[in-house]
Amino acid sequence: MEKAAAAESNANSTVSKASKGSSWDEGRREREVPFRAENGRKDRTANKRESGREVGSFSLPLSLVFSFTLFLLLLLPSTSRAHNITTILAKHPEFSTFNHYLSATHLAAEINRRQTITVLALDNAAMSSLLEKHLSISTLKNVLSLHVLVDYFGAKKLHQITNGTTLASSMFQATGAAAGTSGYVNITNLKGGKVGFGADNTDGGALHSFYVKSVDELPYNISILQISQGLSSADAEAPTAAPSQVNLTSTMAKQGCKAFADLLKASKALSTFEENIDGGLTVFCPTDNVVKGFLPKYRNLTDADKVALLLYHGIPVYESLQMLKSNNGIVNTLATGGANKYDFTVQDDGEVVRLETKVVTAKIVGTLIDQDPLVVYKINKVLLPRELFKETLAPAESPEPAKKKKKGDASADSPDADAPEDDVESDKADDSNGASGLREGVKFFMVLLCLAMGVLSL
């Protein structure tokens, strides 16, 4: 009996311990469950924060932020907008005469190529008064170029001029034909909201013309303002010789291109140059020292090749320096004909205009005469056409830092200046309207791409 009682007691003790152990395990599990749940929530929250998708948070995926930023940048307006003066004025019939003579004098093309410009437009009545002076077309160009300011003046800016008056440079001043400051225009903000204009060298800058209205404005690119009457300037209205009356070789000889002029006079090429003057002619004249260094090679050419070489230095159209800078690309020459291309590439490098023939690269170093439809430039090398000389295909090298010019150094006119240089081929022509359309197409495509990237990153 005692043994049975002892066994029962031991069994109850074991059950009690087991029960206590089970209760302790259950309590521990109960304590661990919320702990683990809390840790799970923290892990999930951390993961969401890392991915930038936490509810109620402003954090976004890096790719979406980048796409959205790029999207906003692409929507910003372009800083460079093309303009066309003849198209703008065509909408205003009262300026039809002014518009016509901008084209006839080739000023329209130069206006369209400039980034910042102000045109002081004259209505048909004001133009009639100007035309009564019976100016030649070349003189009329000088007068009209006085009405084109190489700065931006919108209607608002006219009434906010510092100190109430300023002198603005015109395209007439930029041509170099204006004496002193005769190509500057005095602009003065007068009482009662009036703004006066006057050529700086006329009656001490007296104001004879006044602001009428703003015709059209493309902020900081082009502003067209109507003024009451034409600006008068003795320098601008001074008679100029007609292009056909200009002695081409004499002009060259007097300004450092006598050697090239002598070659023209001794060949059959001169008549071709002279016949093209009235219709438009651009001549590239190598300097005297350059031509003298090239003479041994020139003498080895046949008579036909000598004529072709000389004609290669002329373009049968008028190309102002601004036009050359804007119209990069391949141009034909007076020597072009049939299977013989005799062309070269015009390429601007900032303020420097280069002529690249695939044999040699020359630079424009000066202007002898610029009188539409004739312009003659001075260049630092003889242009060597690939039809007559071996083509150079050496890879272009990085530009070397500018060296100080030593005393007596005349590298631009040195005999070695006609040595071949590395060629940088460019068949790209600058068409501002086409380029603008292409930019808009690319911008639209990039906007769609950014939106797609943003959606995929969600």
The per-residue pLDDT for range 389-423, each reduced to its tens digit, is 987 654 444 444 444 444 444 444 443 444 433 33
User: Alpha carbon 326 to chain centroid distance?
Assistant: 7
Q: What pLDDT is recorded for position 441? A: 57
Over the chain, what is the mean pLDDT? 76
Q: Are 346 and 362 in contact (CB under 8 A)?
A: no
3-class secondary structure, 139: helix
Statement: residue 356 has pLDDT above 60? yes
- Indicate the pLDDT class of residue 186, thresholds 50, 70 and 90: very high
Q: Are 154 and 241 in contact (CB under 8 A)?
A: no
From CA 211, how far away is CA 248, in angstroms rounded? 42
Q: Are 335 and 311 in contact (CB under 8 A)?
A: yes
More confident residue, 289 or 106: 289
Residues 258-270: what's their mean pLDDT?
94
Tokens of 345: 């590439």
3-class secondary structure, 105: coil
Q: What pLDDT is recorded for position 105? A: 83
CA distances from 101 to 110, 122, 140, 177, 233 (A): 13, 11, 8, 20, 18
Q: What pLDDT is recorded for position 222? A: 94
Q: Are 270 and 264 in contact (CB under 8 A)?
A: yes
Q: Are 457 and 64 in contact (CB under 8 A)?
A: yes
- Could you check whether the bond before residue 373 is cis, i.e. omega within 30 degrees of 0? yes
Q: What pLDDT is recorded for position 360? A: 94
Tokens of 308: 């072709």
From CA 183, how far away is CA 9, in angstroms rounded? 126
Q: What pLDDT is recorded for position 79? A: 44
Q: What pLDDT is recorded for position 284? A: 97
More confident residue, 171 or 350: 171
R_g over Cα of the chain: 38
3-class secondary structure, 186: strand
Q: What pLDDT is recorded for position 85? A: 93
Statement: residue 87 has pLDDT above 50? yes
From CA 39, how far away is CA 302, in angstroms rounded? 95
Q: What pLDDT is recorded for position 415? A: 39
Sign of the dihedral defined by the CA atoms of residues 30, 35, 38, 43, in that order: negative
3-state secondary structure string across 51-63: HCCCCCCCCCCHH
| Residue 297: Cβ-neighbour burial (10 angstroms; 0-12, 13-18, 19+) | middle
Q: Are 270 and 253 in contact (CB under 8 A)?
A: no
Percent of the chain with pLDDT over 90: 40
Tokens of 221: 């690119």
From CA 117, how far away is CA 322, in angstroms rounded? 14
Helix, strand, coil percentages for the chain (3-state, nearest 5): 45, 20, 40
Global model pTM greater than 0.85: no
- Under DSSP, the state recorded for 151 is S
